[in-house]
């Protein structure tokens, strides 16, 4: 069991397709995770995983995949399926926290059917599928607010595809905006610790409580520490760095 006074906590984040999937400042998600780890004395190493790179699940503690346009999504979809699929599935079944935004979210469900061209096969992590109903159907664009775990999460969405959930649990309920499909009031999907969402903006700089939640899941999984107790702390207080979160070992034998 790792105690509070042992070596510095370190987490490794795998950033999938940073060159292809990087819309609307998705990289801000990585910067926020890094900063919020830093404020607590946790080192976050970031490793980019591009097309052709294998994903060895044991080497990571967190994974992020961002959004992209249809033309960027197609080669990614193929690589995800052929090169990273088995590793990603293994990581998710082993409760690794994963954040997938927009195009990345679509590719973690069963398929994305674009307005033109063949279907892009997804990994089927989320029991959900996405259909772009053609150029005459308006895109889902604008600010979004959802309720999540009794809190709100805000973001910006811009997607042509409409996602429909099968048995997948939604991430939240739409309070404002379109969410998965502008029809059923659901937003995003959750499977184990994998979170899919349409919220760009970027998501995590605007929602530090969600960033902390993901970091907490990673620490819990790697070190057996409980989630960060700072979840309800006002963001300003944490950003000053003056009030580091308390980390409590789950089963401290001492």
9-19 burial code (b ≥16 CB/10 A, e <16):
bebbbbbbbbe
Residue 139 labelled as part of a binding site: yes
Is 102 designated active site? yes
Q: How many residues bind ligand GLN (CB under 6 A)?
A: 13
- Cβ proximity to ligand GLN, 57 vs 160, nearer residue: 160
Q: Minimum distance from CB of 120 to ligand GLN (Å)?
A: 9
- Binding-site string for ligand GLN from residue 114 to residue 133, where x marks contact by CB under 6 A and - marks none: ------------------x-
- Cβ proximity to ligand GLN, 14 vs 104, nearer residue: 104
How far is the C-alpha of 127 from the C-alpha of 63, rounded, in Å?
19
- Cβ proximity to ligand GLN, 40 vs 159, nearer residue: 159
Per CB under 6 A, 69 contacts ligand GLN: yes
Q: Is 215 within 8 Å of 199 (Cβ atoms)? A: no
Task: Report in angstroms the alpha-carbon separations of 169 from 18, 91, 183, 191, 215.
Answer: 27, 19, 16, 7, 21
Using alpha carbons only, how large is the chain's radius of gyration in Å?
18
How far is the C-alpha of 163 from the C-alpha of 187, rounded, in Å?
9
Q: Is 165 within 8 Å of 127 (Cβ atoms)? A: yes
Which one of residues 68, 179, 188, 201 is an interface residue with ligand GLN (CB under 6 A)?
68
Is 200 designated active site? yes
Which one of residues 14, 18, 103, 188 is an interface residue with ligand GLN (CB under 6 A)?
103
Q: Minimum distance from CB of 191 to ligand GLN (Å)?
A: 19
Q: Catalytic one among 102, 110, 159, 178?
A: 102
Which one of residues 14, 18, 67, 177 is an interface residue with ligand GLN (CB under 6 A)?
67
How far is the C-alpha of 172 from the C-alpha of 169, rounded, in Å?
9
Tell me which residues in 160-179 interact with ligand GLN (CB under 6 A): 160-161
- Cβ proximity to ligand GLN, 197 vs 220, nearer residue: 197
Which one of residues 40, 159, 206, 209 is an interface residue with ligand GLN (CB under 6 A)?
159
Q: Which residues bind ligand GLN (CB under 6 A)?
A: 23, 67-70, 73, 102-103, 132, 158-161
- Active site positions, annotated: 102, 200
């Amino acid at each position: 069991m790792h105690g509070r006074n042992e070596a510095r906590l370190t987490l490794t984040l795998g950033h999938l397709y940073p060159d292809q999937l990087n819309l609307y400042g998705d990289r801000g998600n990585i910067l926020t995770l890094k900063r919020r780890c830093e404020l607590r004395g946790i080192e976050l190493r970031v490793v980019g995983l591009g097309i052709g790179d294998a994903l060895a699940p044991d080497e990571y503690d967190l994974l992020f995949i961002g959004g992209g346009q249809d033309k960027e999504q197609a080669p990614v979809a193929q690589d995800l399926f052929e090169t990273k699929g088995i590793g990603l599935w293994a990581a998710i079944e082993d409760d690794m926290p994963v954040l997938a935004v927009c195009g990345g979210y679509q590719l973690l469900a069963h398929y994305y059917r674009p307005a033109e061209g063949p279907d892009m096969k997804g990994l089927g992590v989320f029991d959900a599928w996405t259909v772009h109903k053609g150029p005459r159907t308006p895109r889902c664009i604008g600010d979004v607010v959802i309720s999540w775990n009794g809190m709100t999460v805000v973001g910006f969405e811009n997607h042509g595809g409409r996602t429909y959930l099968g048995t997948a649990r939604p991430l939240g309920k739409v309070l404002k905006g379109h969410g998965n499909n502008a029809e059923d009031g659901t937003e995003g999907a959750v499977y184990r610790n994998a979170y899919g969402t349409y919220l760009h903006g970027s998501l995590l700089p605007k929602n530090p409580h969600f960033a902390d939640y993901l970091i907490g899941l990673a620490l819990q999984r790697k070190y057996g520490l409980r989630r960060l107790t700072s979840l309800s702390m006002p963001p300003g207080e944490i950003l000053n760095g003056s009030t580091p979160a308390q980390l409590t070992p789950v089963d401290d034998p001492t």
